[in-house]
């Protein structure tokens, strides 16, 4: 049987094959693929789970979206639910509990054993957007005075219950982090060698209160598979794994993308009409207000437009090009802010660079549009007016593309949420003002 099955083939496999055959081949099928098949199946979804082991079902639930996790768990009998929950790691349980109602959470908690209750209760005390809120309690640590032989004997007993034993953390008698050692180093050394002699005593760790997005950027920078989470005394509280970090970064990128477009990050293409309208309408009203402001600016120069009708033809060009330039700068700056690349020390340098970008691109575009304006009206002053307007608006666009998100961040407002509206307003209003204002100033030469 091929392991590359589409949703229909996978559904047929789960429904018709024997339990032995399913258990034999299910290891070659990713839980995410099974989840897709379950979502597409229009029959009784429980039928697709009947031949799956609790640990596979736990992985499927962990891959599911927050709003479907509990639904996938609750279709099982209580006895099976308890087995599934037992297979979930502490961070997976926290994700599940944070996605359900209070009553549903209580229903889950009563199915946990005492040890799991203690771990989950501790994790729930940390803010969800902190390192403590995303860490798992399942990790392997060893004492620095142990030998390789003692360590191997210990690992044979402990690692079967730990999914992410990529690194072994070394602690002292007070559970303080002293170093880290890889499985490779343990395997290649003699049994009588002490862990303290071969460990890396420069183990990087994450403060328990660090923001999860900052945690994600550390993983991006260093490429670790896991990292220990410590308290102020350097005691290991848990670990953060790369799969959780990938999800965090993906959510962050999606959130920034949606917010730049004025859409809530939880909107889905398969969502309801009501939720889509509710998500988009508020920001459309905000955009309407900014459009009215731009229209009001144009209305100040109605007399000029009436005398030189060609101005109305070129107005969208100036405003539109400014909007494009502002969006380019805005996108780069918001991403750089998220990565921590924009600091107080380099802000002025970045601003001057963006000013230069606006000036030189503005001059290039200004020359092009000035030539076009001259050909259009056979009036060199008209070309100069529109060309100069383009330069001024491109410079204003790049400056606002930098300044707006930086200012919003200082005001503790998410730059991705509101920057695009303000930058668009600046480029539209100033674009019209520069163009029509200069045209009014040189009106005698345009008529």
What span, in angstroms and rounded, lies between the C-alpha atoms of 289 and 424? 12
For residue 143, what are its two tokens? 């004492």
pLDDT tens for the chain, 447 residues: list them.
445 778 888 888 889 888 888 888 888 888 989 999 998 888 888 989 989 999 999 999 988 888 888 999 999 999 999 999 988 888 888 888 888 888 888 999 999 888 888 889 999 999 988 999 999 888 888 899 999 999 888 888 766 566 666 788 999 888 899 999 988 888 899 999 999 999 998 889 999 999 888 898 888 888 888 899 999 999 999 999 888 888 777 777 666 666 666 666 666 665 677 777 777 777 778 878 888 988 899 999 989 998 898 899 899 999 999 989 998 998 889 888 877 788 888 999 999 999 999 999 999 999 999 999 999 989 999 999 999 999 999 999 999 999 999 998 888 877 876 788 888 889 999 999 999 999 999 998 887
Q: In whole angstroms, give the CA distance from residue 16 to residue 176.
A: 53
Q: Give, for 181, the enclosing helix (H) or strand (E).
A: strand 177-182
DSSP output for 379-442: -HHHHHHHHHHHHHHHHHHHHHHHHHHHHHHHTT--HHHHHHHHHHHHHHHHHHHHHHHHHHHT
Contact present, 37 and 10 (Cβ < 8 Å): yes
At residue 52, the pLDDT reads: 92
Phi-psi region of 340 (alpha: psi -120 to 50; beta: other; left: phi over 0): left
Domains recognised in the chain with CATH numbers: 7-130 (1.25.60.10), 141-241 (3.10.580.10), 273-446 (1.10.357.20)
Find the distance separating the first CA and the last CA of the chain, reported in whole Å: 80
What does the pLDDT read at residue 256? 67
pLDDT at res. 1? 45
Residues 6+ apart with CB under 8 A from 232: 207
Alpha helices by DSSP H, listed for 268-309, are 273-299, 302-307
The pLDDT assigned to 2 comes to 45
Phi-psi region of 231 (alpha: psi -120 to 50; beta: other; left: phi over 0): beta
State how far the Cα of 283 lies from the Cα of 418, in Å rounded to an integer: 9
DSSP string across 75-122? TS-HHHHHHHHHHS-HHHHHHHHHTS-HHHHHHHHTTS-HHHHHHHHH
Contact between residue 108 and residue 100 where contact means Cβ atoms under 8 Å apart: yes
User: Looking at the whole model, is its pTM more than 0.75?
Assistant: no
- What is the per-residue pLDDT for 220? 82
In whole angstroms, give the CA distance from residue 265 to residue 212: 17
């Amino acid at each position: 049987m091929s392991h590359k099955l589409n949703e229909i083939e996978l559904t047929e496999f789960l429904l018709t094959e024997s339990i032995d055959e399913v258990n034999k081949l299910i290891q070659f099928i990713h839980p995410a693929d099974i989840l897709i098949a379950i979502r597409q199946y229009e029959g009784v979804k429980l039928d697709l789970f009947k031949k799956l082991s609790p640990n596979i079902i736990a992985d499927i639930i962990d891959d599911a979206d927050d709003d479907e996790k509990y639904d996938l768990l609750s279709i099982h009998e209580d006895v099976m639910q308890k087995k599934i929950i037992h297979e979930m790691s502490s961070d997976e349980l926290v994700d599940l509990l944070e996605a359900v109602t209070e009553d549903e959470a209580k229903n889950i908690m009563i199915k946990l054993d005492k040890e799991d209750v203690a771990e989950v209760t501790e994790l729930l005390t940390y803010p969800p957007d902190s390192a403590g809120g995303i860490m798992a309690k399942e990790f392997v640590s060893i004492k620095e005075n142990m030998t390789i032989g003692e360590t191997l004997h210990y690992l044979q007993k402990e690692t079967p219950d730990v999914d992410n034993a990529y690194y072994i953390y070394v602690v002292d008698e007070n559970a303080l982090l002293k170093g880290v050692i890889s499985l490779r180093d343990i395997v290649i050394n003699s049994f009588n060698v002490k862990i303290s002699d071969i460990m890396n005593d420069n183990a990087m760790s994450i403060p328990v209160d660090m923001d999860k997005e900052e945690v994600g950027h550390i993983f991006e920078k260093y490429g670790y598979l896991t990292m220990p989470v410590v308290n102020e005394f350097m005691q290991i509280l848990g670990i953060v794994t790369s799969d959780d970090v990938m999800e965090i970064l993906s959510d962050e990128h999606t959130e920034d993308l949606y917010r730049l477009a004025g859409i809530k990050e939880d909107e889905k293409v398969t969502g309801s009409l009501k939720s889509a309208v509710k998500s988009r309408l508020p920001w459309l009203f905000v955009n309407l207000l900014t459009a009215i402001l731009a229209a009001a600016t144009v209305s100040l120069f109605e007399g000029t437009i009436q005398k030189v009708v060609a101005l109305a033809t070129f107005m969208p060009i100036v405003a539109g090009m400014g909007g494009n330039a502002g969006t380019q700068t805005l996108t780069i700056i918001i991403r750089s802010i998220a990565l921590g690349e924009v600091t107080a020390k380099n802000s002025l340098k970045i601003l001057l660079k963006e000013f230069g970008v606006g000036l030189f691109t503005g001059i290039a575009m200004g020359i092009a549009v000035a030539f076009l304006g001259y050909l259009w009206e056979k009036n060199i002053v008209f070309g100069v007016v529109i060309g100069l307007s383009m330069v001024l608006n491109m410079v204003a666009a790049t400056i606002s593309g930098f300044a707006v998100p930086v200012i919003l961040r200082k005001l503790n407002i998410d730059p991705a949420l509101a920057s695009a509206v303000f930058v668009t307003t600046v480029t539209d209003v100033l674009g019209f003002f520069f163009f029509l204002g200069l045209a009014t100033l040189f009106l005698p030469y345009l008529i």
